[in-house]
Amino acid sequence: MSSSETKIDFLSRISSPEDFKNIPDDQMPKVAAQIREVLVDTVTRNGGHLASNLGVVEMTMAIHKVFDSPKDHIIFDVGHQSYVHKLLTGRYKNIDTLRRAGGLCGFTNRDESEHDCFGAGHSSTSLSAGLGFAISDKLSGSDAHTVVVLGDGAYTGGMIHEALNNSQKALNLIIILNENEMSISKNIGRFAQNLSRLRTRPGYFKTKRATGRFLRKIPLIGNALFNFALGIKKAFKNLLYGSNYFESMGYTYLGPIDGNDYKAVTTLLREAKRLNESVVVHIKTQKGKGYAPAEQAPDVYHGMSPCTAENSQDMTFSAAMGKRLTELAAKNDKICAITAAMCDGTGLNEFKATHSERFFDVGIAEEHALTFAAGLAANGMKPAVAVYSTFLQRGYDNIVHDIALQNLPVVIFVDRAGLNSADGATHHGIFDVSFLSHIPNMTVYTPITLDALYSSMYAAFSSDSPCAIRYPNGREDETIKKEFYSTVQAGDIFDLSCRANFDPSDDPRVIIITHGRITAEAIKASQSLHQRGIHCGIILLEMLKPYDIIAGQIADMMPESAELIVFLEEEIRAGGMGISLSDKLKKYDSFNKKKNIIMAVDDSFVKDRKPEESIFESASIDAQSIYNHIVNNL
């Protein structure tokens, strides 16, 4: 193969799946090679999910060779393994914008393409949605197929099993179970592996169908002989593979096969499509396939930050939490750590290595994680649940019913709180303040420096009630640290409440009350106001709930000179800090005499933004918007 042949640009020719179908099968290795080059180049520059996408190249190519998107519905679980799908559905020309402002989403997105039939930024939703598509096609008389690409991590989520329990055999539903880490199937040995390879040969199913027809045509004993042969086959198969859960639930099961073998996957998918019934196609892929660093360390290359990101030696909030939790657990053998398949992302690797007997990864099962923690707490342990803000949404009932109602001392570490630019609307942590604020017995801390984080952890583990500690993605902001924590020595443990950057004797006309990393935008706006001759002070909240305690502290800090109070937050307005805190402040006459406004995310998911915009600008809560709003209200 010459070097010129390896450089054929197949992807630029693909404006739709039909263009891909027209590429001959003997060219597929070259197409796969180009896809992997593009994936490595794009993800190492922009950040994103590399190892999982490298593993599904051949599988995704086979899907688009066999099925007809958008007529046939292709649902990825989780949607972060859809980069190859994007390349094969006409989005190659924009692939350099992946996960950037105004660019391609890092997940499937219905607003982005007709080929993304269902958005999936959270795991284990695919089969429930797939059943919805398949049943609606059946009811409307459509012969379309629904293809659910289910990763083995997503398979640990309870929703998948709820959907399996709701399955129907007579549906054009194909579930591709992509096993790349967790061993779902038994170690079946060389003989069974050879049998699987035999089943992926093009002539296998043709011969199987012909044999069935022949047996049935034998006079008198044909049907009985066919059923007897079928029973022998099933018994032999169970001996090799074990009892098949999927067939017991009404699905036809095919596999397991090598998911990085394009021809084998194509053959099996064509047979699954021909059956016109519910089918599970079990494949095994290699994470990071074709890129040696990702093959050797798929966990490192699962979710990547851009290589151009600032190379800071400072710890992220997630890493700092994990390190301090490990240290606290060394002194207190009651402390346990729980994660829902996010050990790396939530910073718990060191805890796992150091206190393995008290570390629990429950899989993608946030609801179970929280009630499991409640059980531990009820029996005397001090459990910590580390979870992304958007994933915590799944466990709302468990927080209310199992933790708060019983007033159990569970500590919930709410990671990725606030707006998160790269991953889009599915990962904006803008709802936790609202839904945690109205839960009785709950204390909510919102540290924005590492020392404040450590202090909140000390307070939370000293409490006999449930506590939530929410913090943003990334590192502490030096601007905020300098403005509010200049007198704090590293390692100090202090009581958390409110901090002000003004002296009441300075007679500020405007007071901004805020929390989290948007405080940096408040500082910029304040500086602009000062240049205009408007003195603006800022009150930084280190904790939110109980709001009545915070309200009392703010009332004591509020200068007589203040004419306008601005509640600023990067979370949803309804039920958020601004509404909750202003309601508590109404009992103070000094507050009621002042004009107050709330700046927050106002009934929006903050989806798209222009390339030149920051995430705060897209939500109209950036420094310039704050400045304009204040000037217009004075």
Q: What is the 3-state secondary structure (H, E, C) of 534-590?
A: CCEEEEEECEEECHHHHHHHHHHHCCCCCCEEEEEEEEECCCCHHHHHHHHHCCCHH
Q: Does pLDDT of 225 surpass 80? A: no
% residues pLDDT > 90 (the chain): 66
**Chain segment 572-612, per-residue pLDDT in tens:** 999 999 999 999 999 998 898 899 999 999 888 887 667 76
Q: Which of 308, 306, 292 is nearest to 106 (CA)?
A: 306
- According to DSSP, residue 94 is labeled G
Q: Which of 471, 518, 534 is nearest to 623 (CA)?
A: 518
234: its two tokens: 């099933």
pLDDT at 181: 60
CA distance 98 to 121: 15
Q: Does pLDDT of 5 surpass 70? A: no
Q: Does pLDDT of 395 surpass 80? A: yes
pLDDT at 346: 95
Domains belonging to the chain, first-starting first, are 3-186+242-296 (3.40.50.970), 317-470 (3.40.50.970), 497-633 (3.40.50.920)
User: Which comes out higher in pLDDT, residue 117 or 230?
Assistant: 117
**Chain segment 177-208, per-residue pLDDT in tens:** 998 764 333 433 343 444 445 455 555 555 55
Q: Is 394 a catalytic residue?
A: yes
* C-alpha distance from residue 534 to each of 234, 525, 561 (Å): 81, 11, 12
User: Which comes out higher in pLDDT, residue 220 or 91?
Assistant: 91
CA distance 427 to 430: 9
Would the CA dihedral through 240, 242, 245, 247 be positive or negative?
Answer: positive
Q: Which of 65, 100, 289, 394 is catalytic?
A: 394
pLDDT at 47: 87
Q: Is 287 a catalytic residue?
A: yes
Q: Does pLDDT of 115 surpass 50? A: yes
CA distance 529 to 539: 16
pLDDT at 231: 55
Average pLDDT over residues 287-309: 71
Q: Does pLDDT of 628 surpass 90? A: yes
pLDDT at 312: 45
Q: Which of 361, 347, 470 is nearest to 418 (CA)?
A: 470
pLDDT at 209: 55
**Chain segment 318-364, per-residue pLDDT in tens:** 999 999 999 999 999 999 999 998 999 999 999 999 999 999 999 88
pLDDT at 206: 57
CB 150 within 8 A of CB 120: no
Angle, helices 262-275 vs 57-66, to 10°: value is: 40
Least confident of 78-87, 474-483, 618-627: 78-87
Q: Which of 65, 287, 499, 573 is catalytic?
A: 287
pLDDT at 182: 42
Average pLDDT over residues 233-262: 73
Average pLDDT over residues 223-238: 54
* C-alpha distance from residue 114 to each of 91, 238, 543 (Å): 12, 41, 44
Chain centroid to Cα 523, Å, comes to 31
Q: Which of 112, 179, 366, 570 is catalytic?
A: 366
**Chain segment 73-96, per-residue pLDDT in tens:** 999 988 788 999 999 999 999 999
Chain centroid to Cα 242, Å, comes to 33
Least confident of 51-65, 102-116, 275-289, 309-323: 309-323
pLDDT at 295: 76
Q: What is the band of 523 on the pLDDT scale with cuts at 50, 70, 90?
A: very high
Least confident of 243-252, 264-273, 423-432: 243-252
Q: What is the mean pLDDT of the chain?
A: 87
Q: Does pLDDT of 4 surpass 80? A: no
